[in-house]
A and B are shown apart, each in its own frame.
Chain A
Amino acid sequence: MKRADSLITWYGELTTRQQLLKRGSLLLSPGMLWLMLFLVLPGLVLVVVSVVTRGAYGQLEWVFTLENYKRLAGFTLFGWTPDYLMILWRSVVVAFFTTLVSVLLSYPLCFFIAGRPERSRYMWLTLVIIPFWTNMVIRAYAWFLILSPELPIAKLAAVFGFIPEGAPLYPNAFAVYLGMVSMFLPFVTLPLYASVERLDWSLVEAAQDLYASRIRTFTQAILPQTMPGLSVGIILTFVPAMGMFVVPDLLGGAKYMLVGNLIQQQFGTSRDWPFGAAISMGLMVLTMVGLQIYRRKGKEVQVV
């Protein structure tokens, strides 16, 4: 008998392999369609646009070239400059430290919330979520107020000589990090909290019983257990942080440009879509590489 025709049971139902396949693809098709329309298709458009030429008025001219990628790599008419690569690299660094600081802040926060009585936990979680209810741009502007020269933070910084007297604490790298971390903290806190809340404390006690130091208790009893939530949090932060442009634009000023700003500029004021598409591709590749490195490292942590 042919394999495809043979009867099999599927959750108590008698059916054939062919029929299952048909039904499976039917059920999957809405999702597939969605992915095609909003991920694969735009991705292909981006690839195509990144290899065509910009016309004199910003229109696309169908002359295929790798010029945009060369430009991104720093080769110009006047020789090689690392400007664009620097911006890309800076974006990686900012995303990395934003993620790191968010993780470092989230752990104590999650343990604090998980340690509250059951009823007040939801209040604390709501407090973590509340910033989400406000638009990102408005939140970035809120930092202007907080960092303005009249308020104690800027005054204190002036006392220690970090900034001139009467100046605001922006635009600079510090303000960008502040804005980024406050923006992305909940993305780490919420998934991490889900892991922390379910933590099996008997493993922590076992580590204590077996003479483990605080660091060893964390790496051996807590970290492996919270890895699922932590992974989600890291990816949810690192990936969007790489492309973030609102916060660096407002709080970083023109001197502190990230790749997000650069892309926005190309599609906006510069009207250079092909170059913008090429940078976008570069960002995507970098993000993929970053995730891949994280996956490798993550696996090592799991095994060791």
Chain B
Amino acid sequence: MNQNQNLTTDQSLSIKNICKNFGDVKALDDVTLNVASGEFFTLLGPSGCGKTTLLRIIAGLEMADSGRVFIGGKDITGLPAIKRQVNTVFQSYALFPHLTIYENIAFGLRSRKFPDAEIKKRVIRRLEMLDLSSMAQRHPHQLSGGQKQRVALARALVNEPEVLLLDEPMSALDARLRAQVQEDLRRLQRKLGRTFILVTHDQAEALVCSDRLAVMRQGRVVQCGTPEEVYDNPKDSFVAKFLGAANLIPCTKAPGGVQTAFGFLALDKEPSWQEGTVAIRPEWIGIGDKEPERNGIRAHVTEIIYRGTNFDLWLEPGPLRVRTSSYRRIDPGREVWLELAPKELVILEDEAR
């Protein structure tokens, strides 16, 4: 699918052929993306993949070496940050320590010389929306991490940006709070109907929040689509492993399927390569005492890991990871049958060898 072709007028943000080098390092290598108006879009990737650089280029805090950035159909490539209708929630929140929460949120409106009454109205609305009303007169150092994060969010949203950029806004929160905030953020975005662009290295966050996501690696977009699309049909082993867990099985093409170390595995579709990799999610592997009709593997359990909601089993030959529900404890040493059903096996199209 060519991303360039579905450029329509309701594109909120469009990025074309962006390149950026830092010295010899290619931070971004010909990145093209389109984000629809009102979409929650996530840039997902490991550290150093260029996702933050891309966000900074959209914000106008960094200039691209080549390529163009459009917001609402308007070319803003050469505009500095202060002229862009884009606001950012910074990773460190970057709240002004000498200003109260009220003044922090009012900052952007004061810069643009809004009348006091209007500022008051807007700031109070955001304070209420993000449950910060009682904090208005405090200073940032008196707030908890979650509260600071909400202030940063309010400070950006009060300017009613066309695109809101979020640079790993949850990395400073502890795991429990993070899960909560992810859902809150998702709801907030739905309610406001604004375009959000989130940068994260946390795959759970990307899955929970996004309408669509782009997985990035070494300055390139590897795969782009809805969370389900990308999770169910990863294009290569990098995406398969970065988004969730996956068993990667090297193989060669054979009539009706592939030949692997475990023997022949039938597939629903023909792979495009001769030698490559198929993947299967641990929770998609069937486990039982009877030999299945197709794609059965005789294996024995070597290790069992309890994860609360499920067990993770490690099996030989393989090693293969299988996820079973938490009431199916299978102790190490047991011989079982595994079923790698054809419809669950993903052909990694970009993983030819």
Contacts and interface: CB of A to CB of B under 8 A. Distances in A.
Interface of A: 200, 202-203, 205-213, 216, 220-221, 224, 302-303
Contacts of A302: 98
B54 to A, nearest CB: 16
Nearest to A216: B111
B90 A206 contact: yes
B36 interface: no
Given A203-B96, A302-B98, A211 B90 contact: no
A210 B61 contact: no
19 contacts: A203-B94, A203-B96, A206-B88, A207-B107, A209-B60, A209-B61, A209-B82, A209-B87, A209-B88, A210-B111, A210-B159, A211-B159, A212-B107, A216-B111, A220-B96, A220-B107, A221-B96, A224-B97, A302-B98
A195 to B, nearest CB: 14
Nearest to A211: B111
A207 B91 CA distance: 15
Interface string B65-94: 000000000000000111000111011101
Nearest to A213: B111
Interface residues of B, number: 25
B155 interface: yes
Given A200-B92, A200-B94, A211-B82, 5 more contacts: A206-B95, A209-B156, A211-B108, A224-B96, A224-B97
Nearest to B81: A208
Most buried by A among B92, B98, B108: B98
A36 B285 CA distance: 83
B340 interface: no
Interface string B281-307: 000000000000000000000000000
A208 B61 contact: yes
Q: Give 3 closest A-B pairs by Cβ, nearest first.
A: A210-B108, A206-B94, A211-B111
Main secondary structure of the interface of A (DSSP, over half): helix
A202 B93 CA distance: 8
Contacts of A212: 82, 107, 111
A212 B87 CA distance: 12
Interface string B97-112: 1110000000110011
A202 B107 contact: no
Contacts of A205: 61, 81, 88, 90, 94
Interface in B142-198: 155-156, 159
Nearest to A220: B96
Contacts of B155: 210
Contacts of A203: 94, 96
Contacts of B86: 209
Interface string B46-67: 0000000000000111000000
A212 B108 CA distance: 7
B50 to A, nearest CB: 18
Contact of B80 (A200, A208, A210, A216): A208
A215 to B, nearest CB: 11
A210 B107 contact: yes
Contacts of A213: 82, 111
A208 B82 contact: yes
Contacts of A208: 60-61, 80-82
Contacts of B80: 208
For A205, A221, A302, A303, which residue has the most chain B Cβ atoms within 10 angstroms? A205
Nearest to A206: B94
B82 A224 contact: no
Given A205-B81, A216-B111, A210 B87 contact: yes
A211 B59 CA distance: 12
Contacts of A209: 59-61, 81-82, 86-88, 156
B98 A224 contact: yes
A202 B82 CA distance: 15
Which of A206, A212, A221 lies at the interface centre, i.e. has the most chain B CB atoms within 10 A of its CB? A206
A210 B91 CA distance: 16
Contacts of B156: 209
B200 to A, nearest CB: 18
Which of A202, A207, A208, A210 has the most B CB atoms < 10 Å from its CB?
A210
A207 B59 CA distance: 12
A303 to B, nearest CB: 8
A216 to B, nearest CB: 6
A220 B99 contact: yes
Contacts of A207: 96, 107, 111
A207 B96 CA distance: 9
Given A210-B107, A211-B111, A202 B96 contact: no
A203 B108 CA distance: 13
A299 to B, nearest CB: 11
Which interface residue of B95, B108, B112 has the most chain A CB atoms within 10 A?
B108
Nearest to A227: B98
Contacts of B99: 220
